[in-house]
Chains A and B, each alone.
Chain A
Amino acid sequence: MPHNATSSSHAGLQVAVLVSIGRHPLTARARRADQDARAVEMALSLDDAAIRLVHAGGNDDDNEEALRGYLGMGIDEINVIKQASNADIVPALVTSLRDAAPQLVFTGSRAEVGEGSGLVPYLLAEALGWPVINGLAQVESIEHGVATVLQALPRGKRRRLRVRLPAIATVDSNAPPARQSAFGPARRGELAARACSSMPDELQAQWHMQTARKRPKRLKIVKSASARDRFKAAAAKAEGGSGQVLSDVSPEQGAEAIFKLLKEEDVLR
């Protein structure tokens, strides 16, 4: 499991993780949401950070089981902000985050149930005036209120960002996988429920909801003559063109070119 590369500890760092109820894609059983669990994993990988899990939503039995999935990762308590089932959870989360004032907020990119628009982090950031990082892959260091993080880009690329804290970071499936949830701690952990006035989501109330239908996939037609072309089409980089062909060079020159490239791509430092 990749852990924090730097040896600096994050003593005193306050991290909040927003967690939701997930849903298994095949059986629709409630579970810990995959991306949210990765967000918890990301928080746990920070040494000595004080982690606070927050869940806003209804709290029936099924949900409790799912929330306990996060507790099983070695978390003692989840703060549950009780909301009506038709509520817009953003105002309640804004209040909660403003009160607790964490330096970092982690959450999954989008929920597995309900609207699943992926807008919650942006709405929160807008309300709080904090920056948002999406696709967080790794927190490299946090010094003097500035976090150096790696952001995941398509095709395994990473971009290093410096962000002034407090900030909100979303985690998607590029982040390290979540650790196993253990039954014992899951059962012993506490769900600290707190009632909070819920604001009904008026926009959503006007919507007509129905179960999604599996739509036929459009066939991807690759016009190519040979297997090599098809392979190239499948493996092609989205952009590029900055390549360099070296021929008839000495081994030293070749090695130097490779070394230079690796440095440019930040594989070597």
Chain B
Amino acid sequence: MLDTLLPILFFSALALAAIGAVRRVRLWRQGRHSPVSLIRGLIAMPRRYLVDLHHVVARDKAMSNTHVATAGGFVLAALLAIVVHGLGLDSAILAWALLAATTCMFVGSLFVAKRRRNPPPRLSKGPWMRLPKSLIAFSLGVFLVTLPTAGILPEDLGSWVLALALAGVVAWGLGELFFGMTWGGPMKHAFAGALHLAFHRRPERFSDKHGGEGRSTGLKALRLEDPATKLGVEKPADFAWNQLLGFDACVQCGRCEAACPAFAAGQPLNPKKLIQDMVVGMVGGSDAHYAGSPYPGKPVGEHAGEPHGPIVTRPSTKGGTALVDAETLWSCTTCRACVEECPMMIEHVDAIVDMRRFLTLEHGNTPNKGAEVLDNLIATDNPGGFDPGSRTHWAADLNLPLMADKREAEVLLWLGDGVFDMRNQRTLRALVKVLRAAQVDFAVLGNEERDSGDVARRLGDEATFQSLAKRNIATLGQYRFARIVTCDPHSFHVLKNEYGELGGNYEVYHHSTYLNRLLEEGKLSLKAWKGGTVTYHDPCYLGRYNGEYEAPRDVLRALGIEVEEMARSGYRSRCCGGGGGAPITDIPGKQRIPDMRMNDVRETGAELVAVGCPQCTAMLEGVVEPRAEIKDIAELVADALIEDDSAESTSRDEAAGKARRAEEEVTL
């Protein structure tokens, strides 16, 4: 009797899954066109899954092994079961293999079930709670119906009641694992996830066989040529189709939620919920069925959307809610902690900036100081609205060599907007002192420099970003230099990774990397560190965005500092709260992100935090005392400098300074 029932069950489940797959693909295809190579993607998919995805999953060893057993067992069992039970191939070897596969899957399922006994809050509940039962049903059911085929049990054992019961168990498993895979059950992540890996919008983020680590963090430029096209993402259907596919791949593991600084601070953002909301929007409906943690302070069930309906309502249409609220999008610090943690390789930050672009460029609704900062960037090329002619006032006594005079230098020192900030001026002074001590041939753009466009771009103002970037590229094009060095990781990232698309390709170094090089070349001699314990805070735009975790630590080591690492450091470093224009849009939460970061520092007992970013410096120094002291790496190096070989240049500077002072006295 099972011999007739099982093929019917298997093939009807497969047929339903195929129908579901077509429906799902049609949902994704609502999105905008996006050029990806389908064939090459499918070929690359197994490697992307086995290497890149598993690299992320394996950060949690227990879960990784559970997944390998369950998923590996399932894929093998499913294929074999189709052959053995679906096609009725009577092979003892295949049957034994099938038994092994289902056993493996069963063991894995037990671990899944154990994890679901008392799940951490980041995991979604709801349908996900029945998944281990379904997995057990499938593995156990297929195991039992295979026993006669393998010759362990006689073919006609038991009554038709038992056969029917077994068929029922198998049907349950099939329903979840075949039918549910394409009709929106928890197993959807396998189907959508596999295709998402194949057709990922950033194929360059995956590693390759030749040892390339694969990193793609620069935002994609928005095409501004055609005035008729809508800018940014207004409706779920305005996303690229493979972005929609990516949202659908979410497995709701909540690793993003656990890493998100805005969520931890009680700001109304939860990356997992955001991705699920995009899925709700793509399918159409309300978020009432969402079974994970909500956006802090925003109950589930009040928002709904449709593929061709707006994601965010205009504030002028009073009181209405759409799919998400604007402040959810503006809470993001673009720190990429979610993207780094996501085992499904979903690009949260891209999606958030896409939606911000619409709010800024089409609605004109950048919250709080956003509009003012953007107006300043347009009118004065810096976010503070300072006179662009006063960019080098801070260095009036330093005699900085100007590119306009020299035309050529080995290093172009990119100062960034920190020139207007008195705290950052100290860092810049230190950096200049170190470069002079190492006798680096450098020059600055001076008043010709503009904001790199980082803030404008993260606030969604792509037009201002591109205008600033193009003018900066034109300026840089006039001069000859081997490399750019900057002490601002945001400028560093934009110059290195985002100017390329607009025609500016440079060799760019963060000052920590460059200082490390100078140290390795023996161009700097340093005194031994005498201070107390030191910890290091990884800036997001240096670490996660550009993979530079070691150079700053090497510099500290060269100073004789033993870094007392924070619990969250390296690729798991917690954001200072200063990225993505978050201090400008300033969405209220329960606590401040820099305070949380300072608590991380406090836990290490360090007396000093070494930083490498003007934003981090500003955010962390904004934390009330008592707290650890904050010093930039450049300042630490400058303080430890043994200056005998640079005495000549300093004395010359001093002489020049004296001469100038004398002049002033005369004119008075």
Interface size on A, residues (CB 8 A): 17
> Which residues does chain B contribute within 8 Å of A148, judged by CB atoms?
none
Within 1-39 of A, Cβ neighbours of B (below 8 Å) are at 24, 26-27, 29, 31
Whole-angstrom distance between the Cβ of B12 and the nearest chain A Cβ: 50
Q: Does B437 contact A (CB under 8 A)?
A: no
B388 in contact with A182 (CB, 8 Å): no
A184 in contact with B365 (CB, 8 Å): no
Residue of B nearest to A65 (CB): B378
Within 86-119 of A, Cβ neighbours of B (below 8 Å) are at none
Q: Does B385 contact A (CB under 8 A)?
A: yes
Interface size on B, residues (CB 8 A): 26
Q: Does B42 contact A (CB under 8 A)?
A: no
Residue of A nearest to B229 (CB): A184
Contact with B364, one of A24, A29, A179, A188 (Cβ below 8 angstroms) = A179
Within 375-420 of B, Cβ neighbours of A (below 8 Å) are at 375, 378-381, 385-388
B371 in contact with A180 (CB, 8 Å): yes
Quick one: CB contact mask for A154-184 with B, threshold 8 Å, 1 for yes?
0000000000000000000000000111111
> Which residues does chain A contribute within 8 Å of B363, judged by CB atoms?
182
Residues A180 and B379 in contact in the complex (CB < 8 Å), given A74-B364, A188-B227: no
Within 72-87 of A, Cβ neighbours of B (below 8 Å) are at 72-74
Residue of B nearest to A26 (CB): B387
> Which residues does chain B contribute within 8 Å of A29, judged by CB atoms?
378-379
Whole-angstrom distance between the Cβ of B426 and the nearest chain A Cβ: 25
Contact with B379, one of A26, A74, A182, A185 (Cβ below 8 angstroms) = A26
Contact with A27, one of B362, B374, B379 (Cβ below 8 angstroms) = B379
B361 in contact with A183 (CB, 8 Å): yes
Q: Does A263 contact B (CB under 8 A)?
A: no
B364 in contact with A27 (CB, 8 Å): no
Residue of A nearest to B226 (CB): A187
A185 in contact with B228 (CB, 8 Å): no
Q: Does B443 contact A (CB under 8 A)?
A: no
Whole-angstrom distance between the Cβ of A45 and the nearest chain B Cβ: 11
B380 in contact with A73 (CB, 8 Å): no
Q: Bound state CA distance, A187 and B378, in angstroms?
A: 15
Contact with A183, one of B231, B365, B370 (Cβ below 8 angstroms) = B231
> Which residues does chain B contribute within 8 Å of A188, judged by CB atoms?
227-228
Q: Does B452 contact A (CB under 8 A)?
A: no
B374 in contact with A24 (CB, 8 Å): no
B227 in contact with A183 (CB, 8 Å): no
Q: Bound state CA distance, A74 and B364, in angstroms?
A: 9
B362 in contact with A24 (CB, 8 Å): no
Q: Does B423 contact A (CB under 8 A)?
A: no
> Which residues does chain B contribute within 8 Å of A187, judged by CB atoms?
227
Contact with B361, one of A26, A27, A73, A184 (Cβ below 8 angstroms) = A184
Q: Bound state CA distance, A217 and B397, in angstroms?
A: 28
Tally of contacts, chain A with chain B, CB under 8 A: 52
Q: Does B488 contact A (CB under 8 A)?
A: no
Contact with A182, one of B361, B378, B387 (Cβ below 8 angstroms) = B361
Q: Bound state CA distance, A27 and B364, in angstroms?
A: 23
Q: Does B366 contact A (CB under 8 A)?
A: yes
B227 in contact with A185 (CB, 8 Å): no
Q: Bound state CA distance, A73 and B380, in angstroms?
A: 21
A24 in contact with B379 (CB, 8 Å): yes
Within 341-366 of B, Cβ neighbours of A (below 8 Å) are at 360-366
B228 in contact with A182 (CB, 8 Å): no
Q: Does B463 contact A (CB under 8 A)?
A: yes
Residues A27 and B365 in contact in the complex (CB < 8 Å), given A182-B360, A188-B228: no
> Which residues does chain B contribute within 8 Å of A183, judged by CB atoms?
231, 360-361, 461, 463-464
Q: Does B436 contact A (CB under 8 A)?
A: no
A184 in contact with B380 (CB, 8 Å): no
Q: Does B527 contact A (CB under 8 A)?
A: no
Residues A73 and B385 in contact in the complex (CB < 8 Å), given A24-B380, A27-B380, A188-B227: no
Residue of A nearest to B318 (CB): A3
Q: Bound state CA distance, A181 and B463, in angstroms?
A: 12
Whole-angstrom distance between the Cβ of B457 and the nearest chain A Cβ: 13
Contact with B366, one of A24, A72, A180, A185 (Cβ below 8 angstroms) = A180
Contact with A26, one of B364, B370, B374, B385 (Cβ below 8 angstroms) = B385
Whole-angstrom distance between the Cβ of A61 and the nearest chain B Cβ: 15
Q: Bound state CA distance, A24 and B387, in angstroms?
A: 11
Q: Does B114 contact A (CB under 8 A)?
A: no
B379 in contact with A184 (CB, 8 Å): no
Q: Bound state CA distance, A180 and B361, in angstroms?
A: 10
> Which residues does chain A contribute within 8 Å of B366, judged by CB atoms?
180
Q: Does B230 contact A (CB under 8 A)?
A: yes
Residue of A nearest to B379 (CB): A24
Whole-angstrom distance between the Cβ of A98 and the nearest chain B Cβ: 33
Q: Bound state CA distance, A26 and B371, in angstroms?
A: 18
Residues A180 and B380 in contact in the complex (CB < 8 Å), given A26-B387, A27-B388, A188-B227: no
Q: Bound state CA distance, A26 and B380, in angstroms?
A: 8
Residue of B nearest to A32 (CB): B375
Q: Bound state CA distance, A73 and B371, in angstroms?
A: 12
Q: Bound state CA distance, A182 and B365, in angstroms?
A: 8
> Which residues does chain A contribute within 8 Å of B386, judged by CB atoms?
26
> Which residues does chain A contribute within 8 Å of B364, judged by CB atoms?
72-74, 179-182, 185
Whole-angstrom distance between the Cβ of A110 and the nearest chain B Cβ: 19
Residue of B nearest to A24 (CB): B379
Q: Bound state CA distance, A27 and B380, in angstroms?
A: 6
B230 in contact with A184 (CB, 8 Å): yes
Q: Bound state CA distance, A185 and B228, in angstroms?
A: 10
Contact with B362, one of A31, A179, A185 (Cβ below 8 angstroms) = A185
Q: Bound state CA distance, A153 and B449, in angstroms?
A: 43
> Which residues does chain A contribute within 8 Å of B231, judged by CB atoms?
183-184
Instruction: Identify which of A26, A73, A179, A180 gathers the most chain B CB atoms within 10 Å of its CB.
Output: A180
> Which residues does chain B contribute within 8 Å of A180, judged by CB atoms?
360, 364-366, 370-371, 374-375
> Which residues does chain A contribute within 8 Å of B379, judged by CB atoms?
24, 26-27, 29, 31
Quick one: CB contact mask for B213-236 with A, threshold 8 Å, 1 for yes?
000000000000001101100000
Residue of B nearest to A181 (CB): B364
> Which residues does chain B contribute within 8 Å of A181, judged by CB atoms?
364
Q: Bound state CA distance, A181 and B363, in angstroms?
A: 9
Whole-angstrom distance between the Cβ of A68 and the nearest chain B Cβ: 11
Q: Bound state CA distance, A27 and B379, in angstroms?
A: 7
Q: Bound state CA distance, A27 and B389, in angstroms?
A: 9
B362 in contact with A184 (CB, 8 Å): yes
Q: Bound state CA distance, A73 and B364, in angstroms?
A: 7
> Which residues does chain A contribute within 8 Å of B365, judged by CB atoms?
180, 182
> Which residues does chain A contribute within 8 Å of B388, judged by CB atoms?
26-27
Whole-angstrom distance between the Cβ of A88 and the nearest chain B Cβ: 29
> Which residues does chain A contribute within 8 Å of B228, judged by CB atoms?
188
Residue of B nearest to A187 (CB): B227
Whole-angstrom distance between the Cβ of A21 and the nearest chain B Cβ: 14
> Which residues does chain B contribute within 8 Å of A182, judged by CB atoms?
360-365
> Which residues does chain A contribute within 8 Å of B381, judged by CB atoms?
27
Whole-angstrom distance between the Cβ of A208 and the nearest chain B Cβ: 27
Within 52-74 of A, Cβ neighbours of B (below 8 Å) are at 72-74
Q: Bound state CA distance, A26 and B228, in angstroms?
A: 33
Within 458-514 of B, Cβ neighbours of A (below 8 Å) are at 461, 463-464
Instruction: Identify which of A182, A185, A188 gathers the most chain B CB atoms within 10 Å of its CB.
Output: A182
Q: Bound state CA distance, A31 and B374, in angstroms?
A: 13
Residue of B nearest to A182 (CB): B364
Residue of B nearest to A22 (CB): B379
Please list the residues of chain A having a beta carbon within 8 angstroms of any beta carbon in chain B: 24, 26-27, 29, 31, 72-74, 179-185, 187-188
Across chains A and B, which 4 residue pairs bring their CB atoms closest together, nearest first?
A182-B364, A180-B371, A180-B364, A184-B362
Q: Supply 18 A–B pairs (Cβ within 8 Å), ascending by A.
A: A24-B379, A24-B380, A26-B380, A26-B385, A26-B386, A26-B387, A26-B388, A31-B379, A72-B364, A179-B371, A180-B375, A182-B361, A182-B362, A183-B231, A183-B464, A184-B231, A185-B362, A188-B228
Given A74-B364, A179-B371, A185-B362, 6 extra CB contacts under 8 A: A26-B380, A180-B374, A182-B360, A182-B363, A183-B461, A188-B228
Please list the residues of chain B having a beta carbon within 8 angstroms of any beta carbon in chain A: 227-228, 230-231, 360-366, 370-371, 374-375, 378-381, 385-388, 461, 463-464
